[in-house]
Structure formats: structure tokens, C-alpha cells
Amino acid sequence: MKRPKNPLTQPIIPPSTPQQQSNTILRPISKKPRNILQNSQQLLTVNWTPLNAGKSELYLPLTFPTGQTFRWKQTGPLQYTGSIGSHLVSLKQLENHDVGYFCHNDGFASGEAEGALFDFLNMGISLSELWEEFRASDERFCQLAEYLEGARVLRQDPLECLIQFVCSSNNNIQRITKMVDFLSSKGRFLGSVEGFDFFEFPTLDRLALVSEAELREAGFGYRAKYIVGTVAALRAKPGGGVNWLASLRKLELQEAIDALCSLPGVGPKVAACIALFSLDQHHAIPVDTHV
């Protein structure tokens, strides 16, 4: 008869922490190729291309971590990294207050890639001119302007923006970011920067492969059915959901709001956020239901 093992000599496996469980749930499903950028030293030595936009036109800390997008990560002091279409881009506020950019993908010199960055940053709009106009019109704005300098509204891809803000309903930035990271992992892997994995945002067809049960397991709660329902509704649109969303840029604000509110999980506030941050409706004012 075998002697029973002494339990005191067996290795003790601690229970997984909530963070470890979350990391398991949110692991990327795409196979990772070699990291495009493997360590911080490379970021310190890259040649940043100046955007030729001073702090008055773009100040990164007042633009990216403010709740208008949840896909960009802080990868260094005054430095943020994210994907714009298929391009993995880092932006940095330089010592002269200009913004420098660097694309980790090959072929960023192409006009298409550079144009995508300028379009995403809404660089066709002069903030300094708007600020002067606002200062002349509102005394209160004059007092606040120095604290808001360089806070720029982005021009995001409408599908990305829509899905992000369906996740935002009755939620906080930390949880929204985890949900968006999970959905982003369904797209094509682009590379890793400073320990963060980055993906091209998934297409509607890829999003359609994600089940409500999978989303609920990942912590989406009641929003799971809205994500699935919205994706299905967009795929059913004549001409395709992406084209339908792009067409909303040509509508009057209320028409765009009404169209967005026809989608599952989209109410007036979420619709206003989508309109403001992706549909060129810069006079949209998102108002929380508690206000």
C-alpha cells in the first residue's frame, strides 16, 4: 500500500487574482507575429516626424485620455500609441511643444497613411482660430481657455466609435477600455509597444463571429446583446453598414441622431457622442441622463 503524500510538501497554487482572470478573458485571439517594437529604448531613439502643430493646436493629454476614444494607450511621458486603420502610430509631445509622430508599420511614408493620421486628428480645423472666436464671444470661456488649450476633438472611424460608445453605456472608463480591448483583439494583430498589444479594429464580419455568450463571459453584461444586435443591424443595411454610417456625415444633426438611435443600445447621449466624435457633427452636445 502506497504511503499517502504529505500535503505540506506539495506546492501551493494560489488562487488567481481578478486581474489574472481578466487577462485570461481578454487575451488576444489573433496569432502574434514578431513584435514591431520590442522595447522602450527604440521609442527613445526614433526620429519623430513633426506634425507642425504646437500645443495650442494639439495637446495629447487633453485629447486622448479624456473619454472620446478608448483604444489609445499611454506608452511614455506625453506619448500615446494606437491604431489608425492598419497603421500602428505613436504620438509624442516634443520639448518644443510640437507633436511628433512615428508609424511602426512599413510604408508609412505613403500619402495614404499620413493622410489617415491627419484626418483622424481633425487637423483641417484650426483650434487657435476657434479659441479666439470663443474668447470674443464668452467671458467665462476666457477664464477657462488656458486650461483647455490643445483639447482637440478627434475624427474617428464611425464603426469604431459606435461600438466603443455602445460599450460606454452606464459604465466607467476603466471597464469600457477592457471591453474595447476585448473586441479589438478580434482584429488583425499589428504589434506590441511598451507591453500593450495593438490590433486593427475588426470588421463587421469579424465582429459577427463574436457571440452574446462570449461577450457576457468577458464581462459585458446587458451590453452583450446590444453589441450583437447592432452588428447584425449594420450588416443588414443595404449597401453595407460601413457605408450607411459614413452617409450619416451628410445629414443634419437631428437626422443623424435619429438614425443612430434606431440601433440596439443607442440612446440620445450615445448617439450624440458618436455624432460628435466621428460624424463631423461638431455642434452635437452629449448630455448625461443625470443632468
Residues known to be catalytic: 269
Joined together, the cell numbers standing for residue 219 give 464581462
Rounded to the nearest 10 degrees, what angle do helices 268-278 and 158-167 cross at?
Answer: 150
What CA–CA distance (Å, rounded) separates 108 from 114? 7
Buried b / exposed e over 233-246, threshold 16 CB at 10 Å, is ebeeeeeebbebbb
* C-alpha span between 159 and 231 (Å, rounded): 10
Q: 5 CB contacts (<8 Å, ≥6 apart)?
A: none
Please state, in angstroms and rounded to a whole number, the distance separating the CA atoms of residues 78 and 121.
16
In the chain, the amino acid numbered 11 is: P
Do you know the residue count of the chain?
291
Beta carbons within 8 Å of 283's beta carbon, 6+ residues apart: 253
Which candidate, 36, 31, 154, 30, places its Cα nearest to that of 88? 36
| CA angle, residues 170, 72, 111, in degrees to nearest 5 | 130
